[in-house]
Amino acid sequence: MIEFRDIEKRYDDSEPAVSGLNLRIPDGRITVFVGPSGCGKTTSLRMINRMVDPTSGTIEVDGRDVSRVPPHELRRSMGYVMQQGGLLPHRTVADNVATVPRLLGAGKAEARGRAAGLLERVGLDPALAGRYPAQLSGGQQQRVGVARALAADPPILLMDEPFSAVDPVVRSELQRELLRLQDELSKTIVFVTHDIDEAVLLGDQVAVFGAGGVLHQFSPPAELLSAPANDFVARFVGRDRGFRALSFQPASRIALRPTSAYDAAALASAPRFASDGSLRAALDAVLASPDGVAVATGPGGHDVGTADATDVMAALAAVRGEDGAGRVGPVPAPDGDPGSDGDPGSDGDPGSAAAEASVGGPAGRRAPGGGVADGVA
């Protein structure tokens, strides 16, 4: 565990870069620091491996005060990935990665072997190993950066906006690769970004920072979307947080209609969504369909049924119903059945906080059914 205790950092006499920071970062999970520019994310990250020392307060890693650990020793247990790869320009890709095992005492052949294994692990073509960093695309360079950070097999990985310099498609690939790697490796990852979508996609826990390095909320992403701690977080998370929160709800809850209900030729070109994916992907497919009907596919990729917008909303209502408390029920008709799950005590503002508070649910980052919560398309 990495623990920040009453951390303050002032670079000079002006505003503190970080203030009053108390935070416990759990082992084996991805913790994301997110917030606008200049709010102290990089400073906070760098205090973990002592690239920056705090003005006051302590940081402990597994119960050890890092200020008492020599920086070189500390950094052996922490890989660091920076925004632009940070690769050595005059060394080949293989040598960039092999440098770390060499420093740790591995022989040349062993270090090379290890580098080759790591490059494969991060999804790089072995043919690129002999190239220099400038001969790689931005996305490839970032993969090398991740391979290098993993080279000493450190339990902790610090990543500072590692994917922000690449285009959205490559970025999305790198994000998925990171989640795949993390499934295998279970590192303690601290990941900095200013992109809330990236934070919600990758984080098991998300820390939202604001001006002056103040921590506003530290929650699982679903909770961040369903219950922002204050106006700052609500604004930062954005207006479409209700839609984003659908990433954490399973499409498996949709009562699919048989494909035989529609003309086969019309369905052939309809958008698809994975039946074990998220409601967000399902709704997106429905919205993208000219006919308002999308086709669900099973694990083997075959069609298993269809859904339209009402089916998606019915699934969402079912999930909300299970979530229970604090829901806004319909006003009962004078002579009608008030409904079994209407909450008579709920006289608040309908459709706002109370209704949305039930969106998040207990689901974690990974959508049920083995799928992964969706990011930006």
Ligand X SMILES: Nc1ncnc2c1ncn2[C@@H]1O[C@H](COP(=O)(O)OP(=O)(O)OP(=O)(O)O)[C@@H](O)[C@H]1O
> Contact residues for Mg ion (CB under 5 A)?
42
Report in angstroms how near the CB of residue 213 gets to ligand X at its nearest: 6
Q: By CB under 6 A, name the one of 20, 38, 326, 361 that touches ligand X.
A: 38
Q: Which is nearer to ligand X, 209 or 273 (CB)?
A: 209
Among 30, 40, 145, 202, binds ligand X (CB under 6 A): 40
Letters for 43-72 (x = contact with ligand X by CB under 6 A, - = none) are x-----------------------------
Measured from the CB atom, is 34 or 367 closer to Mg ion?
34
Nearer to ligand X, 47 or 115 (CB): 47
Check residue 194 for interaction with ligand X (CB under 6 A): yes
Which of 7, 29, 30, 42 contacts ligand X by CB under 6 A? 42
**From candidates 17, 87, 106, 315, binder to ligand X by CB under 6 A:** 17
For residue 371, give Cα distances in angstroms to 204, 288, 315: 15, 21, 17
The two three-digit tokens of residue 199, written as one number: 């934070």
Per the listing, tokens 């074990």 go with: 276
Q: How far is CA 30 from CA 182, 216, 220, 315, in A?
A: 8, 18, 10, 29
194 binds, among ligand X, Mg ion, none (CB under 5 to 8 A by kind): ligand X
**Binds 43: which of ligand X, Mg ion, none (CB < 5-8 Å by kind):** ligand X
Task: Work out whether 20 is an interface residue with ligand X (CB under 6 A).
Answer: no
Q: Out of 21, 25, 30, 39, which residue is the one contacting ligand X (CB under 6 A)?
A: 39
Instruction: Return d(Cα 281, Cα 293) in angstroms, integer.
Output: 13
Residue 41 within binding range of ligand X, rule CB under 6 A: yes
Query: What's the closest the beta carbon of residue 160 comes to ligand X, in angstroms?
Result: 7
Q: Which is nearer to Mg ion, 191 or 273 (CB)?
A: 191
Residue type, 60: E
With a CB cutoff of 8 Å and minimum separation 6, the contacts of 142 are: 81, 85, 162, 163, 165, 166, 174
Please, what's the b/e burial string for 9-30 (b: 16 or more CB within 10 A of its CB; e: otherwise)? beeeeeebbbbebebebeeebb
